[in-house]
Structure 1
Amino acid sequence: MKREIKFSLLYRDMWQSSGKYVPRVDQLEKVAPAIIDMGCFDRVETNGGGFEQINLLFGENPNIANRRWTQPFNDAGIQTHMLERALNAIRMSPVPADVRKLMFKVKKLQGTDIARSFCGLNDPRNLENSIKFAKEGGMISQAALSLTISEVHTVEYYTNLAEQLIEMGTDEICVKDMAGIGRPAFIGKIIKNIKTSHPETVVQYHGHSGPGFSMASILEAARAGVDYVDVAMEPLSWGTGHADVLAVHGMLKDAGFAVKDINMKAYMKVRSMTQEFIDDFLGYYINPKNRHMNSLLIGSGLPGGMMGSLMADLGNNLESLNKWLTKRNKPTLTQDDLLIKLFEEVEYIWPKLGYPPLVTPFSQYVKNLALMNVLQVIKGRERWSMIADNIWDMIIGKSGKLPGELAPEIVELAKANGKEFYTGVPQDLYPDGLEVFKKEMKENNWDFGQDDEELLELAMHPEQYRAYKSGKAKADFEADLAEKKTAKAPKTEKVEVPAASFEPKSMIIDVNGEKFNVGVSYGDIESAPAASNGSAKTVEKEAPAAVNGSAAFEVISPLEGKFMLTKDTSETPIKVGDTVKEGDVVCYIESMKTYNAVVAEQDGKVVGISKANGDNVEEDDVLVQLA
């Protein structure tokens, strides 16, 4: 009798691996029946990871989206599963234990059956609560092995990790090849070891197609005894995403495995609707290069799931960097130039950081640090001169135990920055915090929501939830989308008008992104430049504003991102009138999902805060004024 292998559709992860956003709830509801009609899926990934933050960012309630999206699959008997990040739950930073516990209860009540839990460091201490809380909440616990390739990440390492997680009580194991760099034979040996020791334990394989190993890896996983395989489908399969269900189906069927038939009429319907969603608005956030496979990813090991945001980050940083280079009459770079430099720097720094598996959030941390190093070196500054607080937490052990040893230079750098290494249980550093958020909900007269789901949303994503409630998130998203649509709209032809009919005027000239207000004369008439209206930069810089007869000292942004007065609720934001000391943190720049502390370079009194919380800023923007 042929052994059956079942499929799980990664409809959420398909989008996250390709771009920034996922479909709206009305779009998800529209496509769900057709996915069910395909008849080949026993599981569908419906939520988790960054999914809910994305809902909030475009002004949609993630709890409503989760319930309405999971319901059709619940009704059809198709299991739903979510992705969660252990200590970090479904965000990028550590989460209090009581908030983590509430999450599993809420997600089960919203219709999610399986919690796929992974720790980016593969620290079993971080996964222990995930396993416990998932089962207490009525969910199936699926603990993941975050796969990577290094001198410390061996078949024996992963086999032993699986043994520990099964002993802790997990129901299933996921072999999570988040970068797709796991060699096929390596993956097969791990799965075979697990199934030999625990034949009744369900094993699911998740792999990305970017580097090119995925089809061979899936076949090896199948031969080793895997039960479920994660797949995607056109037009969002392959590239930085996952193998297409049609190809996987054909390969496994030919290899002698039992696989469910695919209703091709329904497949084409899902394919067509997915393209419709891309054309609607999601395509504006998908970099075309993410549709390509790239074996350069083998060396860097960066995961497919972050490539959508990585290309956006590169574009933003490249624009800022090229402005800096142009001002100094230096050659500019292309995106490919910067990408290759980034890949090379990731390979260089990864071993020095103790080989953290390159999965969320640590893939972002390593990538961000590599990118900061590249940018600083290009600007003639020192490597390691800009390290975000989240990255320091990883380095000193607050996120868990690193798999490898830190390089001596990193240990010395930590000591030089006054950092103390931590060896305790990471969760102990983040005490219960729900009461603080309950108080905020009551003060704002906000509804706690069905099963306390709105309370969970605030506690899990405080800044994004507040922006959602105020309407700022939706307004910002709509403005950004309008800007992207305008940028891609066909250019209209310019109409030339004889200059002789005009009197002298001023005009704004854009030179490589820098705007200048200049005077213009026609014929022999000369004119002085008109006064700037404040909306464009002038050629001469203005002197610092005078405060009480003395010049104010300006605290400027070291990079582009979002201006944040605090990074969590434990901090008190500065305000005008406060006194700060040299070295004090005055604010943060949230860039590429990490918080970069901005410190005062001298003692002073806060006399001005130039940006509002959450505002976008560019490098060298004035943030705070001290006197």
Structure 2
Amino acid sequence: MKKEIKFSLVYRDMWQSSGKYQPRVDQLVRIAPLIIEMGCFARIETNGGAFEQVNLLYGENPNEAVRAFTKPFHEVGILTHMLDRGLNGLRMYPVPADVRRLMYKVKHAQGVDITRIFCGLNEVRNIIPSIHYALEAGMVPQATLCITFSPVHTVEYYAVIADQLIEAGALEICLKDMAGIGRPEMLGRLTKTIKEKHPEVIIQYHGHSGPGLSMASILEVCENGADIIDVAMEPLSWGKVHPDLISVQAMLKDAGFQVPEINMKAYMKARAMTQEFIDDFLGYFIDSTNKHTSSLLLKCGLPGGMMGSMMADLKGVHSGINMILKSKNKPELSIDDLLVMLFDEVEYVWPKLGYPPLVTPFSQYVKNIALMNVMSLIKGEERWMMIDNHTWDMILGKSGRLPGSLAPEIIALAKEKGYEFTDEDPQKNYPDQLEEYRKEMIENGWEFGPDDEELFELAMHDRQYRDYKSGIAKKRFETDLQRAKDVTLAKQGFSEEEVKRLKRAKAEPITAMEKGRIIWEIDVESPSMPPEVGHKYEPNDVFCYIATPWNTYDRVMANFSGRIIEVCANQGALVNKGDTLAYIERCEETA
């Protein structure tokens, strides 16, 4: 019998790689016991990159979500892990050192055991401070190698980085194959190289399924000493996400490895509940193409999650590009034509930018430049006309050293613009800011929360946190969800009137009890506009007033918890007894 292989369920990344949003805290609390009951997981990925922003976008508190989701796993001895972006912390751009340091203190206090620290450039200067911060806070630092396929990303290249990270205190190494384009044979050799030199270090493999190599890669890393494999579960496994637990277990078991058994009754329940979350609202933000694998991803090297973004970009510029071509008496292009052009341009751009591993945020930078170049070339202009400031920061060295060399034309363009290159520690470009945020918390009278967790949220996601505190975030999400529902129905071929009927069928009408004029406002003295779609009412809220002909104001109560889906009467409109004023869809969640 071969060695034992353990499994980690990447429940956060399953959603992150599929769509825009994560399950709400009430859903996470419901799924956790079923994940435990499956009995096959040594670890669960509970939070990390984008998880907290998503909660803030809901208008809800991410700290409460992390605490609630990690708690049941801790009670049964399952380790929890998170994903962080090194210099960028939990966001897309660099974070001051004092905020990074606080993050590990907060997350450990909230119940997270392991932090998977990565840098999109594999820049050790960005990763090593986080290793030290994690150890200081009592967390297990899992240092990460971002895997890609290029002339510079060799076994030797990665092995040197692994040595440095382990020497700095990393207790584990993650092979993060974010696009799934790592070649199985190379991944096997890399695993063996690290294990032979550092047999005590745990190696965890994280591979996406996009181009279809992940199962072969899993087998190779296990044969060469890997300890833990990241897996997903239906209905979010495969496609651009990760291999399914059942298939991975069967493959490794047949190969002679010791693998845990799966409680299939619990798996089916967890599978059904995950589908329930999709049907509830999360599916409205999942691109259907994310369920497909695509060998085209091997050509461009971009992560599978970028496919949806690329397709949206291409659809957005498609008509404009064809208008340009038509004006030049040139044949129009299909979406597939543009996709191939974009892939070709990524292949052209990537080496000239120094082969940054194509992972957040650098995959976005490379894709954006390629798209802008395609636009410029179609217009008959030069390449490199539109490069944003964040991308320039990467080019100039403010994010760290690039793995490869910049093309002479890029260096010349930077000098032409008067930009200066730097090789100093990237963190020095981003001075401490925690005291500024502390002052803002005090001025606003906001609670700092246990272990300064609320201070941390403001410092890490200042704009989203302010929107959360003001209530704007929740209102924006409700509007976003309603729009997504309407778009989905429209794509299914329903007319506007049919969409209205379908929405009304799931809602309840609020009717006028008397004849009179409607006043949409809590305060009768200062009438306002009708409530917006998505506005929530609780049972004891006044829905509106009816100004009767005999000079009385009759209150119309909401009587149940629900959200507006349609307003049928304008401010001041004359309504008769029994007329429908609006439709409200019931909801059970608390405000």
TM class, shorter-chain normalised? Answer: 0.7 to 0.9
* Aligned residue in 2 for 1:480: 480
Aligned pairs for 1:248-259 within 5 A: 248-259=248-259
Query: Secondary structure at 2:141's aligned position in 1?
Result: strand
Match of 1:311? 308
Q: Do the aligned residues in 1 keep the contact of 2:302 with 2:363 (CA within 8 Å)?
A: yes
Question: Residues 570-581 of structure 1 correspond to what in structure 2 (within 5 A)?
Answer: none
The answer for the alignment partner of 1:208 in structure 2 is: 208
Corresponding residue for 1:302? 302
In the alignment, is the contact (CA less than 8 A) between 2:314 and 2:335 conserved in 1? no
Q: What's the secondary structure of 2:238's corresponding residue?
A: coil
Taking the aligned partners of 1:375 and 1:184, their CA distance within structure 2 comes to: 36
1:322 aligned onto 2:319: yes
**Per the alignment, do residues 393 and 34 of structure 1 end up closer, same or farther by CA in structure 2, a change over 3 Å counting?**
same
Q: Is the 8 A contact 1:287 1:312 kept in 2?
A: no
Match among 490, 494, 505 for residue 491 of structure 1:
494
Q: Residue 443 of structure 1: CA displacement?
A: 1.4
- The CA deviation at 1:334 is 4.8
Distance in 2, matches of 1:328 and 1:384, equals 20
Amino acid at match of 1:74: H
Q: Which residue pairs with 2:404 in the alignment? A: 404
Q: Deviations over 1:534-566 (max 9, x none)?
A: xxxxxxxxxxxxxxxxxxxxxxxxxxxxxxxxx
Q: Is the aligned partner of 1:154 residue 2:168? A: no
**Cα distance, 1:142–1:152 mapped onto 2, change above 3 Å:** same
Check conservation: 2:118, 2:143, Cα contact below 8 A: yes
- Aligned residue in 2 for 1:86: 86
Equivalent positions of 1:358-369 (< 5 A) are 358-369=358-369
Per the TM alignment, residue 123 of structure 1 is displaced from its structure 2 partner at its CA by 1.1
TM-aligned CA distance change 1:290 to 1:335, over 3 Å? farther
**Match of residue 566 from structure 2:** none
TM-superposed deviation, 1:323: 4.9
Is residue 174 of structure 1 aligned with residue 171 of structure 2?
no
Secondary structure of the structure 2 residue equivalent to 1:42: strand
Assess if the C-alpha contact under 8 Å between 1:128 and 1:168 holds in 2.
Answer: yes
What is the CA–CA distance in structure 2 between the aligned matches of 1:72 and 1:78, rounded to whole Å? Answer: 9
Between the aligned partners of 1:50 and 1:493, the Cα distance in structure 2 is 34
Match of 1:384 in 2: 384
Do residues 459 (structure 1) and 462 (structure 2) align? Answer: no
Give CA deviations for 1:363-399 in whole Å, capped at 9, x if unaligned: 1111121122223333443321111111000000000
Question: Given residue 163 of structure 2, which amino acid in structure 1 is its aligned partner?
Answer: E
Q: CA deviation at 1:332?
A: 6.3
Q: Whole-Å Cα distance in 2 between the matches of residues 8 and 494 of structure 1?
A: 47
Per-residue CA shift, 1:41-60, capped at 9, x if unaligned? 00000111111111112222
Amino acid at match of 1:15: W
C-alpha separation between the residues in 2 aligned to 1:488 and 1:429?
A: 44
Distance 1:473 1:327, change over 3 A: farther
Deviations 1:601-621 (A, max 9, x none): xxxxxxxxxxxxxxxxxxxxx
Partner-residue secondary structure (3-state), 1:371:
helix
Amino acid at match of 1:28: L
| Deviations 1:509-555 (CA, angstroms, capped at 9, x unpaired) | xxxxxxxxxxxxxxxxxxxxxxxxxxxxxxxxxxxxxxxxxxxxxxx
Amino acid aligned to 1:175 = L
Structure-1 separation of matches of 2:398 and 2:495? 55
> Match for residue 141 of structure 2?
141
Q: 2:59 — aligned with what?
A: 59
Cα deviation for residue 2 of structure 1 reads: 3.6
Matched residues in 2 for 1:92 and 1:493: separation?
38
Please give the alpha-carbon distance, in whole angstroms, between the structure 1 residues aligned to 2:334 and 2:54: 29
- Given that residues 314 and 338 in structure 2 are in contact (C-alpha distance below 8 angstroms), is that contact kept between their aligned partners in structure 1? no
Q: How big is each residue's C-alpha offset from its partner over 1:246-295, in whole Å with a ceiling of 9 and x where there is no partner?
A: 00000000000000100001111111011111111111111111100001
CA distance in 2 between counterparts of 1:163 and 1:134 reads: 18
Spell out, residue by residue over 1:388-418, the C-alpha distance to the aligned partner (whole angstroms, 9 max, x if none): 1110000000000001000000001111111
Give yes or no for contact 2:45–2:82 (8 Å, CA) kept in 1: yes
Partner deviation per Cα, 1:488-527 (whole Å, 9 max, x = no partner): 22524989xxxxxxxxxxxxxxxxxxxxxxxxxxxxxxxx
Q: Which runs of 5+ in 1 are unaligned?
A: 496-627
Deviation of 1:318 (Å): 2.2
The AA in structure 2 aligned to 1:435 is E
- Give per-residue Cα distances to partners, 1:190-210, cap 9 Å, x unaligned: 000111111111111111111
Preserved CA contact (<8 Å) 1:322 1:332: no
Q: Secondary structure at the match of 1:385?
A: coil
Aligned residue identity for 1:479: T
Q: 1:124 to 1:328 in 2, by over 3 A?
A: closer
Q: TM-score, normalised to structure 2's length? A: 0.81
Identify the residue that residue 517 of structure 2 maps to in structure 1: none
Alpha-carbon separation, structure 1, partners of 2:298 and 2:283: 27
Aligned equivalent of 2:277:
277
Q: Where in structure 2 are the equivalents of 1:8-27 lying within 5 Å?
A: 8-27=8-27
Q: Deviations over 1:35-79 (max 9, x none)?
A: 110000000001111111111122221111111111111111100
CA distance in 2, matches of 1:75, 1:332: 61
Please list the CA deviations of residues 113-133 of structure 1 after superposition, one character each: whole Å capped at 9, or x if unmatched: 001001111111111101000
Give the structure 1 partner of residue 353 of structure 2: 353
Alignment of 1:574-613 (within 5 A): none
1:393 maps to: 393
Identify the residue that residue 523 of structure 1 maps to in structure 2.
none
Kept after mapping to 1: 8 A contact 2:46/2:82? yes
Deviation at 1:327, TM superposition (A): 8.5
Tell me, yes or no, if structure 1 residue 439 matches structure 2 residue 423: no
The separation in 2 between residues aligned to 1:18 and 1:385, in whole angstroms, is 32
Whether the 8 Å CA contact 1:120–1:362 is kept in 2: the answer is yes
1:70-101: CA deviation from partner (whole Å, max 9, x where unpaired): 11111111000001111111111010000000
Q: How many angstroms apart in 1 are the aligned matches of 2:312 and 2:128?
A: 39
| Shift in CA distance, 453/332, structure 1 to aligned 2, threshold 3 Å | farther
Quick check: which one's helix share is greater?
Answer: 2
Which deviates the most, 324-333 or 242-251? 324-333
CA distance in structure 2 between the partners assigned to 1:231 and 1:324 by the alignment: 41
Instruction: Give the TM-score, by structure 1 length.
Output: 0.76
**CA positional deviation for 1:360:** 1.3
Shift of 1:321: 4.5
Mapped partners of 1:28, 1:286: distance in 2: 18
Residue type at the aligned position of 1:322: S
Checking the alignment, whether the CA contact within 8 Å between 2:148 and 2:301 is kept in structure 1 is yes
Aligned to 2:109: 109
1:14 Cα shift?
A: 0.6
Q: 1:528 matched to which residue of 2?
A: none
Query: How far apart, CA to CA, are the structure 1 residues paired with 2:445 and 2:338?
Result: 48
Note if 1:41 corresponds to 2:44: no
Q: Does 1:428 align with 2:425?
A: no
Q: Is 2:220 the counterpart of 1:220? A: yes
Provide the identity percentage.
63
- Structure 2, unpaired ranges of 5+: 499-591
1:247 has 2:244 as partner: no
Aligned to 2:372: 372
Matches of 1:296 and 1:91, distance apart in 2: 28
Mapped contact 1:98–1:432 kept (Cα < 8 A): yes
Q: What RMSD over aligned residues (CA atoms) do the two structures have, in Å?
A: 1.7
Separation in 1 of the partners of 2:495 and 2:435? Answer: 56
Q: Any conservation in 2 of the 1:315–1:335 contact (CA below 8 Å)? A: no
CA contact (8 A) 1:88 1:95 kept: yes
In 2, are the aligned partners of 1:322 and 1:333 still within 8 Å (CA)? no
Q: Secondary structure at the match of 1:229?
A: strand
